[in-house]
Amino acid sequence: MRLSHYFIPTLKETPAEAQIASHRLMLRAGMIHQETSGIYTWLPMGLRVLEKIEKIICEEQDRIGCHRVLMPTIQPAELWKKSGRYEAYGKEMLRLTDRHEREMLYGPTNEEVITDVIAQFVKSYRALPLVLYQIQWKFRDEIRPRFGVMRGREFLMKDGYSFDLNVEAATETYKKIYESYLRTFRRMGLTAIPVRADTGAIGGNLSHEFQIVAPTGESTIFYDGKFDSLSAEEMTFDVASNLYAAADEMHKEDDCPISGSDLKTARGIEIGHIFYFGTKYSEPLGAKVTTPDGKSIPLEMGSYGIGVSRLVGAIIEASHDDKGIIWPEAVAPYKVGLINLKSGDAKADTLAEGLYTQMQNHGHEVLYDDRDERAGTKFADMDLIGLPWQVVVGNKTIESGTVEVKNRKTGDKQEIALDQVLKLLK
């Protein structure tokens, strides 16, 4: 992509309304635009990151045999009346009436809708286990939307729903998804701590939140200090589930197995939340199957959420410096930022264009700064946008055929021959 023809409305000034780094950087790097409180337009750079995150999530869901679906955002109130949540959900639910005076709502979550689908189509234990998921916009009329996409009113969620014949099978499914979530976050460069959590409006008695330790997080968590020394690779279900970690409301000092300085407390960003709630929805919505011995019983269910749009903010909170964002390669909007310091100079333009084409032909995603701007502006913008690699075409390229390659994360710079660039990127 050529920057001269792109749409990245970067800001030089720090927007006054943004209180945390990720919100400031997303606005400054031209990733989002606020329409009204907690509701955003995703601009090209923001959307690319959102799509990278979605792709990783889908790959990991598919790997464990989950099936993707897409449910509507607008739901009939009737289903929620059956489950008993229509009144209980309160003011966070955006309620609508259609032209026939039918009560509708903009879905804050989809347990009712998916259970209704399953009730229609799944009649026998032979179809189980079954996990369906989607990536779809949700609306929750939060009292205090804040920190940009971290706590929005309209936000993108991956929500999955599991259906099993009995408690043992449902517990196995829960474990499998727990493990897969750790892997999913690891691929995005994040080490999430799974903490025992309250089940709130979703229900049930087994639940974990996946928390990223960050001073700007809105949750308070308590955990075994051993978590701090685990690398992302060591954070598996077996290791994590044997260590103590609890969300604020679940932490009881009296029966906490960890004491003294081994117990850590920190702020966390909740990037995922999973629930096991048995027959809470299958029973009232009539999702039943016949067992091998011919009985009819309600399905055992769980639901599994990832804050897709929140993750964009969370990754930035975990990875930035005073100059801007530092994208982990797996979710970076582009891999390489190509800077032409001498745009307009025929020789420099030819060399830069050639490199641009060549890198793209080798499958690299390149953002090419071909603008007629000062060097300082180009460097500052590229650091702000935070692509993993910067390749600089300048005087030395014209004189001796070398380019400067900078790693955004380490800051390391090296001067290499033009024909070595592809090798380095590989």
Which parts of this chain interact with ligand P5A (CB under 6 A)?
A: 109, 140, 142, 151-152, 155, 157, 159, 202, 270-273, 275, 303-305, 307, 309-310
Question: Using CA atoms, how far apart are residues 170 and 164, in angstroms rounded to an integer?
Answer: 5
User: In whole angstroms, how close is the CB of 313 to ligand P5A at the nearest point?
Assistant: 8
Cis (ω within 30 of 0) for the bond into 129?
yes
SS3 359: helix
- For the CB of residue 142, give the shortest distance to ligand P5A in the complex, in Å: 5
Q: Which is nearer to ligand P5A, 272 or 337 (CB)?
A: 272
Q: How far is the CB of 105 from ligand P5A (least distance, A)?
A: 14
Residue position matching structure tokens 């897709």: 308
**In terms of CB distance, is 183 or 396 closer to ligand P5A?**
183
CB-nearer residue toward ligand P5A: 152 or 194: 152
The residue nearest ligand P5A at its CB is 307
Q: How would you classify residue 200: left for phi > 0, otherwise alpha for psi between -120 and 50, otherwise beta? A: left
Straight-line distance from the first to the last Cα atom of the chain, in angstroms, rounded to the nearest whole number: 20
Q: How far is the CB of 133 from ligand P5A (least distance, A)?
A: 9
Shortest distance (Å) from residue 30 CB to ligand P5A:
21
Q: Which is nearer to ligand P5A, 156 or 341 (CB)?
A: 156
Cα separation, 129 vs 166, whole angstroms = 10
Shortest gap between Cβ of 78 and ligand P5A (angstroms)? 19
Helix (H) or strand (E) holding 181: helix 167-187
Whichever of 186 and 406 has its CB closer to ligand P5A, that residue is 186
Q: How far is the CB of 319 from ligand P5A (least distance, A)?
A: 18
Q: Which is nearer to ligand P5A, 217 or 394 (CB)?
A: 217
Given the complex with ligand P5A, which of 143 and 346 has the nearer CB atom? 143
d(CA 377, CA 330): 26
Q: How far is the CB of 401 from ligand P5A (least distance, A)?
A: 49
Q: Are strands 193-196 and 130-139 parallel, antiparallel or unpaired?
A: unpaired
Nearer to ligand P5A, 159 or 383 (CB): 159
Do 389 and 395 meet the contact criterion of CB atoms below 8 Å apart?
no
Cα separation, 69 vs 74, in Å, equals 15
State how far the alpha carbon of 361 is from the alpha carbons of 281, 354, 357, 365, 416, in Å: 51, 11, 6, 10, 20
| Neighbouring residues of 402: CB distance < 8 A, sequence distance ≥ 6 | 396, 415, 416, 417, 418
